[in-house]
Amino acid sequence: MQYKTISVDQADGIATIALNRPEVMNALSSLMRAELLDAIRHAEKTARVIVLTGTGRAFCSGQDLGDGAKVAEIDLERTLRDEYEPLLQAIMNCPVPTIAAVNGAAAGAGANLALACDVVIASESASFIQAFTRIGLMPDAGGTYWLPRQVGFARAMGAMLFADKISARQAADWGMIWEAVPEEAFQAQVQARASALATGPTVAYRGVKQALRQSYDHDLTAQLALEAQLQGACGLTRDFKEGVVAFVEKRPPAFEGR
């Protein structure tokens, strides 16, 4: 599949989707959102992990306010409902693990696009900013959902009201992202993390994702029931059998993802 605003590369079970509008710091146009959604839906059928990253010096600068219309004419409610929501839902509900490899600035909707992924790995030169109030808007693209769950109410409120830049190291210290990596080691670390997931027990990972996502809406009884159901499914997989045999034989398991 050929795209105009993104590039897709798949090898060894890893689908790498790169935002590819470096001249505008990978700002999210309507076409880019549509292409991202299409690429994710295709990749989840064949890959065992999806890596979302940016080209150039930025991960994503957020909504492209010059995308084919005057700023005052943009219907933000329609854009969020019809274009952002399907994309964010596709990322969050993706059946395989998703990694945001944040190579540079992630601002506004770009920051929240990264936070929608299961794991965020950032270069230490990267930064995150809930920039919305700087142009008279409130945060969107899922930011008001993800950020308070990751960093707590007080930090989320301050980050959104003041629109301060948060360094990758600070984001890691807050628990907003998984890890901040020195720039010279960033690409190798992303590859290592992606490779680990691509050779892991895919069904178990799917269970982890579902159980954690639903835990916010469950009481203990409901969560225990969900764990039992998902664990039952894991117990029927070839990977579970292989994992047990490998443990007994004291060797690394060779998971097939099924």
pLDDT band for 74, please (50, 70, 90 cuts).
confident
Of 15-19, 68-72, 193-197, least confident by mean pLDDT is 68-72
Domains in the chain, number: 2
pLDDT score, position 75: 86
Residues 163 and 219 in one domain: no
Residue 208 shares a structural domain with residue 172 = no
Per-residue pLDDT at 15: 97
Calculate the average pLDDT of the chain.
Answer: 95
pLDDT higher than 90, residue 108: yes
CA dist list (Å): 9 to 68, 220, 242: 28, 41, 29
Q: What is the pLDDT of residue 121?
A: 98
As a three-state string, the secondary structure of 185-230 is HHHHHHHHHHHHHHCCCHHHHHHHHHHHHHHCCCCHHHHHHHHHHH
User: What does the pLDDT look like over 184-211, one tens digit per residue?
Assistant: 999 999 999 999 999 999 999 999 999 9
CATH of the domain at 222: 1.10.12
pLDDT higher than 60, residue 70: no
Question: Is residue 108 situated within a structural domain?
Answer: yes
Q: What is the CATH classification number for the domain harbouring 117?
A: 3.90.226.10
| Residues 215, 102 share a domain | no
Residues 164 and 238 in one domain: no
pTM (2 d.p.): 0.94
Output the CA torsion sign for 4, 9, 14, 18: negative
Same domain, 207 and 130: no
List the domain range (segments joined by +) for residue 152: 6-198
